[in-house]
Amino acid sequence: MALILDGKKLRDELLEKLKSELDGYSIMPKLVVILVGDNPASKLYVNNKQKTAEKLGIISEVLTYPDSVTEEELLLKINELNSDISVNAILVQLPLPKHINKYKIINAISPIKDVDGFTPENLGKLLSGEIPYVYPCTPKGIFLLLDKYGISVEGKHVVIVGRSNIVGKPLSAMMLNSNATVTICHSHTKNLKEITKTADILVSAVGRDLIKDDMVRNDAVVVDVGIFKDEFGKTRGDVDFANVSKQVEAISPVPGGVGPMTITSLMLNTVELYKFQNLKKL
């Protein structure tokens, strides 16, 4: 049986540490989340983020807008939040309605308040090997999880399945910067199995039943980012956990692996931005 990369346990440890640090603050960091429309998954994510922030004492405000909101209205609000010194971190919950250009919206966030690390400045820093103000939450969470279990990526062949802007692409840059050899796969990749079998560390971020036991090596570390509901309404990941966990060296479960680490990273990022902004003022 594989070593389980336990994201819940690490979340509890890291958030407890963060809470004791925050207990000593006289002014609390503030995170503002912009939520557009009625997407139930987005509402759930935002609710979880808000609950976690509240437990830590981080001030969390959610600004909700109907689907009909215009790009101009959102841009005006972001500009306002950028210049509001009481706001340390801004998050725009994705996806946005089709009539809104998500790049325009994200690009408007000040890089020093960009808690997701998605602005061109932060992603550009990441690609060029410079340190961004913060690292994108899910890739950062994956690094924290691997680090907790003493799994180094240096010199390893890391295969990432999925090339999204929020997981696959930033993760590949972070892996490269940490001296891993990286292969990125996607829906056009031929012979996926032949590639995943060469992975020392396999990260799957797809959102469907994909990774079977014949696709991984026995000594591999498997990180499952995917989350979806199966036909019985059960939350599961991309990896056939029951069979793959019997043979690999280490594996992250779903739920309880990368998910809790993403939210933990969001809290850590909020506090990092707060500290950076306050240091700047001194």
- Nearest partner of 156 among 175, 174, 178, 181, judged by Cα: 181
CB of 262 to ligand NAP, least distance (A): 3
Please, what is the Cα angle at 165 between 162 and 171, to 5 degrees?
A: 65
Considering the rule CB under 6 A, would residue 170 count as an interface residue with ligand NAP? no
> Smaller CB distance to ligand NAP: residue 117 or 259?
259
- Among 161, 239, 244, 251, indicate the residue that binds ligand NAP (CB under 6 A): 161
Considering the rule CB under 6 A, would residue 262 count as an interface residue with ligand NAP? yes
Tell me the per-residue interface mask from 239 to 258 with ligand NAP, x by CB under 6 A, - otherwise.
Answer: -------------------x
Structure tokens at 50: 């808000």
Catalytic-residue membership of 49: yes
- Among 207, 209, 243, 278, indicate the residue that binds ligand NAP (CB under 6 A): 207
Catalytic-residue membership of 234: no
- Nearest partner of 252 among 226, 222, 272, judged by Cα: 222
- Among 186, 193, 212, 246, indicate the residue that binds ligand NAP (CB under 6 A): 186
CB of 263 to ligand NAP, least distance (A): 7
Contact yes or no for 111/90 (Cβ under 8 A) = no
CB of 137 to ligand NAP, least distance (A): 7
Residues in contact with ligand NAP, counted by CB under 6 A, come to a total of 25
Catalytic residue among 6, 30, 77, 93: 93
Considering the rule CB under 6 A, would residue 225 count as an interface residue with ligand NAP? yes
Catalytic-residue membership of 116: yes
CB of 259 to ligand NAP, least distance (A): 4
- Region of 12-20, 113-121, 144-152, 155-163 interacting with ligand NAP (CB under 6 A): 155-163
Considering the rule CB under 6 A, would residue 163 count as an interface residue with ligand NAP? yes
Binding site for ligand NAP (CB under 6 A): 138, 161-164, 166-168, 185-189, 192, 205-207, 210, 225-228, 258-259, 262
Q: Which residues are catalytic?
A: 49, 93, 116
